[in-house]
Amino acid sequence: MPNILGIGTSALLSLQNALNTTGHNIANVNTEGYSRQRVDFVTTPPQLGSGAFIGSGVTVDSVRRVYDQFLVDEVRGRTASQSNFESFHTLSSRLDSIVADSATGIGPTLQSFFNAVQDVANNPAGIPERQVLLGEANVLADRFHNLNNAFNSLNDEINSRLEVLTSEINSLARNIAELNNDIARATALAGGQPPNDLLDTRDLLITELSGKVGVTTVVQSDGSINVMIGNGQPLVIGSGAEQLQTFTNPYDASRLDIGHVGSVGGVTDISRTLSGGELQGVLSFRDQVLQPAINQLGVIATGLTATFNVQHNLGIDLKGLPGGDFFNPLSAVISPHANNGGTASVSVIIDDATALTASDYLLRFDGTQYQLTRVSDNTVQTGAGPFSMDGLTITPSGTPDIGDSFLIRPAGNASSLFAVAVTTADGIAAAAPLRSSSTAANSGSAVLNDLAVTDASGLPLAGQITLTFNPDALGTGVPGFDVSGIAGGPLAYDPATESNGKSFVLGDAAFSIAGVPDAGDSFVIENNLDGDGDNRNALALADLQTEKLFDGGLSSYQDVYGSLIADIGIKTRQAESGMNTENILLQRAIDARDSVSGVNLDEEAANLIRYQQAYQAAAQIIAIADNLFQTLLDATRR
């Protein structure tokens, strides 16, 4: 049967728990990750007495966190996204400052190099000008090397970050798994009551983990929580923690990737499936900014080498010798997969360096044919090969196994290998190998202009080439030039309609004729035996600076480098914008969570007073019960 003493005692005990909980809230107002706790009171079962159910007091049903799972998940998601943008922006900003800085970038050095080329064109016989050109060429090579070293340093830093992040993620996973075990055991011992402080600690660790890598969670019936990453790869399952580890990229020994170590052994590459967190930011920067920048710088180096060498080969030096390569020729990088089992190999020829892109290419054998994929946009060619794409001819040979693959980087290491081949000032081919002249007896107004060499393989000429105007060269009344000294004549030329100029190619020589020749007027094309005062090839070399050689005739060397700077700058700005936005959204998510779960000192002070007054009232119940009992005792003594 209910009694007033029991009712008062239950109230005192319950309110004492409420006061303790309120004090606990106040004490932890500055504790990171702490969720405000609340005491849930319920009435004790009423008892039947005197023909009615009489209340028997109060008890504490539970002490629970004031908690909103949706808001907590929102904070985790925003934390992962903010960390992603922040790490991406930090690394991208550093790369941007390297390529855009005049003290470290290619642009000013490239300008100085072509200024030196122009100085040689202005004074082709001057040894000091030639020496300056060699010096500027070597400075340009050093600048390519310095940029490449800076890129490699960033790549090394990324590898170090991946190792540190992997270790931190594994440590957090183990701690979460241990807390899962503690929570499940504590929940069972308490008959299903939640161990609030342990839950807060686990939530704090999961939020910290989400700053490293994006996670999804699933709460289990025993109070434990499963944590997944990537495409659902388990990281924490109950009290067990699986691990991540870094491993060497099978195509590139200088790169580390992230693998998931399964419960039955073996490592699964999850680098491209991770989303959110610092880990994704680092990997995204490497794949979307750093590697394309390395490739683009290599494209510039390869394009400059190839185009400058072609023109230099068409000239002669101060000794009258044909010009060789000015820069050391560059070739593509071919990396077979580490697990290739067949005997296949791949050769790559750069047919047109001006058509190269900054993309990688993946060649894979599927069992019946090869598949060539341009990685940047997944453009695919299939067949047995050879393949032609973006200025490349890619030819597989040998016998591949199913799944064998090769990664091709047309200009992957070009910036590190860019070097000057010419070693002496007199080896610079500033002069053109051929020269032209008109005979003194010419009486017409015709002139031969723009003599250039299209291919030096047929030089030097075996003898002079003579072009003589003949009104009947191609038949009666059909004028043109008779040609002697080389096959290919006669050349049709009608002064009546073509006196403004007509272009010709004769053997390896290209030229134009304009004006009105008289019958018998002639021109001579011959080997240039003296390159001292001839600057025609130097002028052609200088013209390469502004010539639109790349992107289908849209971009010069400087334009391509400018595009590199712009691409990095745009991605850096996008990352900065994303980071700033996520900072705001993260703070709003934290504020929303804290508005529900955070400790409000004013509210707790009010609760403290309320519970204190209720406690005092409950104590008065005890006192009244005592007085009633004493009255009863006194009455029975009589």
Tokens 């009589």 label which residue? 638
CA distance 57 to 46: 8
The DSSP bridge pattern shows strands 434-438 and 370-374 to be: unpaired
- For 299-428, list the strands marked E by DSSP: 333-336, 345-350, 361-365, 370-374, 379-383, 387-389, 392-397, 405-409
Confidence class for position 55, pLDDT limits 50, 70, 90: confident
Tokens of 11: 């109230």
For the chain, give every domain's residue range. Answer: 4-66+598-637, 72-288+557-589, 331-409, 433-529
pTM reported for the whole predicted model: 0.87
pLDDT at 523 over 90: yes
CA distance 258 to 630: 78
CA distance 408 to 391: 13
- The model's pLDDT over 306-332, given as tens digits with 9 standing for 90+, comes to 999 999 999 999 888 888 999 999 999
- Find the length of the chain: 638
Report yes or no: 572 and 290 within 8 Å, Cβ to Cβ. no
What's the chain's Rg over C-alpha atoms? 41
- For 140-264, list the strands marked E by DSSP: 215-219, 225-229, 233-237, 240-241, 243-248, 256-261
pLDDT of residue 78: 95
Average of pLDDT values for 117-122? 94
The DSSP bridge pattern shows strands 225-229 and 233-237 to be: antiparallel
Q: Which of 235, 305, 317, 219 has its CA nearest to residue 270?
A: 235
Report yes or no: 33 and 203 within 8 Å, Cβ to Cβ. yes
- Mean pLDDT (the chain, rounded): 91
- The model's pLDDT over 421-462, given as tens digits with 9 standing for 90+, comes to 999 999 999 999 999 999 888 999 999 998 988 888 888 888
- The model's pLDDT over 185-202, given as tens digits with 9 standing for 90+, comes to 999 998 888 999 999 999
Average of pLDDT values for 231-244? 91
| Residue 36: other Cβ atoms inside 10 A | 23
pLDDT of residue 44: 86
Portion of the chain with pLDDT greater than 90, in percent: 73
- Cross-sheet strand order for the sheet of 491-492: 434-438, 522-527, 465-470, 480-484, 491-492
Q: Which residues contact 546 (CB under 8 A, 6 or more apart)?
A: 556
> What letter would DSSP give residue 462?
S
Portion of the chain with pLDDT greater than 70, in percent: 99
Tokens of 60: 């504490």
pLDDT of residue 2: 62
pLDDT at 263 over 70: no
Q: Which residue has the higher pLDDT, 455 or 77?
A: 77
Tokens of 361: 């290419």
CA distance 337 to 210: 33
Confidence class for position 627, pLDDT limits 50, 70, 90: confident
Classify each residue of 406-424 as buried b or exposed e, where b means 16 or more C-beta atoms within 10 Å of its C-beta.
bbbbbbbbbbbbbbbebee
pLDDT of residue 250: 93
Helix axis angle for 127-189 and 107-122, nearest 10°, is 170
Q: Is 135 buried (19+), middle (13-18) or exposed (0-12) by CB count in 10 A?
A: middle
